[in-house]
Amino acid sequence: MSTTFETRYASSPQAVKQYDTNQLRDEFLIPDLMQNGKIKFVYTHYDRYMAGGAVPTSDLRLETIDPLKAEFFLERRELGIINVGEAGSITVDGETYKMNHKDALYIGKGAKDVVFKSDDAQNPAKFYMNSAPAHKTYPTKKTSLAEANKIELGTLETANHRTVSQMIIGGIVTTCQLQMGMTELKTGSVWNTMPAHVHDRRMEIYFYLDVPEDQAVCHFMGQPQETRHIWMHNHQAVISPPWSIHSGSGTSNYTFIWGMAGENLDYGDMDVAKITDLR
């Protein structure tokens, strides 16, 4: 079987205050989603959200996993995918979607047969995946990076000049609750999502990419007055509970994919924490 998974349970903010570095990383860091020839998922108990990676050195078929108690993976779920590797394709119930670097694909509830392929097995595609429970079927749709809704935020003076590309989000793709997109920092900028915020109505996962091999990103989490940090590297993900900020600063510029789900589809639904109030 080419699919593996692990489960992460929810942690309260009171408990997280007591975690040391290793426990914090064990609970929230996902270091190994991209494994050649495999599909790997982490099933979280935050809004039943899942993060995964598929690296097809030969064809990989999306299989159900035990926690879903489902006949097929998307029986009661929707799926968002962004290719962070080389060119490949995804076939959904017989229809094939060409997936270049940083292309996104939304697959709606009910799709039974999903197959991942690389154009070149020696230089494979790397499909980063997010999945959330779904109550209704919406059409499968591809969004290229060029087709995304782009928002310019921050300034070079505050080291957070960045482009937010909304890819799987209302107005572009209709979903039940899943939202995904990509934020690219400009050269000379290192801070993402600053000022930081929380949104108690949604959880989130960040996936960092374009991080040079000899560089790193320090990801900040926790309640605004009780923050913690996790050092991260390329193609690693981090779980952000609804009560936690999610922000990072790198030793160089980089890109990250944000994915979220929960009670509200309003992208602007957030409670901003003043920079001067962070502790």
**Residue 268 neighbours by CB distance under 10 Å:** 6
Question: How many helices and strands (H and E) does the chain possess?
Answer: 2, 24
**Residue 75 neighbours by CB distance under 10 Å:** 15
Q: Is 246 assigned to a binding site?
A: yes
Q: Are 50 and 260 in contact (CB under 8 A)?
A: no
| Closest listed residue to residue 257, CA positions, set 167, 144, 158, 159 | 167
Q: Is 197 assigned to a binding site?
A: yes
Secondary structure letter of residue 24 according to DSSP: H
Q: Are 67 and 136 in contact (CB under 8 A)?
A: no
β-sheet with 39-44: strand ranges across: 3-8, 39-44, 50-54, 127-133, 77-83, 104-107, 141-143
Q: Are 191 and 278 in contact (CB under 8 A)?
A: no
Q: What's the CA gap between 179 and 270, in Å, rounded?
A: 14
Tokens of 190: 């290192």
Pairing of strands 39-44, 3-8: parallel
The secondary structure of 45-95 as a DSSP string is SSTT-EEEEEB-SS-EE----GGG--SSGGGSEEEEEEE-SSSEEEEETTE
Numbered residues of the known binding site: 197, 199, 204, 246
Numbered residues of the known binding site for Zn(2+): 197, 199, 204, 246
